[in-house]
Structure 1
Amino acid sequence: MLNKLHIDIMKKIGRLKNILLRLSIPKENATIGYIIAEHFDNDKKEAEFIDKYIEYVVPEKKSINEVIIYFNELFDLEKIAFDDIPKKYYNLMLLNAKLKLTVKNNNSDKTDLDFVVFKLKDTKKNKSLLDTRKTDIKNEDVILVFENQSDYVYSNLNWLNVYMYLCLGISEHDYYNRTVNLSEYIYNLKEFYGL
């Protein structure tokens, strides 16, 4: 007998397959990213969750360019072409950036998206971060992806992906209107910092 968790997971996988079909991306070429979100059965539970952690949130949305500058100062990065990243990440990023823009066409190309992609250089400054990748991505390059129009950020290193998302921040609109973006942001904040 399936429990509620298994049923919820099956529903999410079904939604992903439907999205992939609409975008003409074969499901074997789409990798599900490290996306953290709390599932709430009702609005009251979501409101209680937000109330509990809202004090940790500062409503300050940064531009993609500000986040790129920050990560360029934090790490030694080498800019690479979007087409040079592995196909499994390529399709994931197209899918998520398109969804974030809520584009309604069925085209999965990148002509209307503006991706900026970096990889971590193999330097002393990056050594501790590169050492952590062995558990996540083995010997793949650590990539950092930024998309200007959708404010989409991604890294194939799980914790770095969440950190990039948190660095981008949350808008005042999402904060004061208590949108689903706020609860997603809080959940990532909670998981990342162990609140």
Structure 2
Amino acid sequence: MKLDRDRIVEEAFALLEADGLDAFSVRRLATRLGVQPPALYWHVESKAELVTLMAQRLYAEARAGHEGLEEWRDWLIAFGHAMRGRLLAHRDGARLCAVAEPDRAATAETRQALAAPLIARGLGEDVALSRLGSVIALALGWTIYEQNGGMHDYLEALFDFDASFAASLEAMIAGFPREA
């Protein structure tokens, strides 16, 4: 099977599921793919770039599928739930996104891609990015607790994760000013 970035990222997620972020390495990924580590470096420059690609995929998946929502508040709520879902779908998903480095070469492209759904719903770019950042921070913080075994067990005895996240997300978004 041909080795390309998509396959590398897919296998990287499989490795993450199997071993977790602490044991994740380019060497282990190469072994999983049946190649020597230098073969991977033709496609990704470093482990940091690979982690960034993985995080970018999770963010892109969370942004997709909300086209039918016309109101920016509804879009943000749907995105927040999708972001949390994507993070929870992968072992250490929240930690992966929290440690991923930004792709500094694509900053303008990234700003436009991130803000586009909210700009289309009437927000200015800076406001869109600020509100999106708030939702991402909530989802990341929340899922870091959910994916931490000891903390998860402790908090699960105190409240329902799903209901509490939904209430927190809705309260935060309701507090955003209506004007763009």
Please report the TM-score for the alignment, with normalisation by the length of structure 2. Answer: 0.27
Please state which structure has a larger fraction of its residues in strand. Answer: 1
Please state which structure has a larger fraction of its residues in helix. Answer: 2
Please report the TM-score for the alignment, with normalisation by the length of structure 1. Answer: 0.25
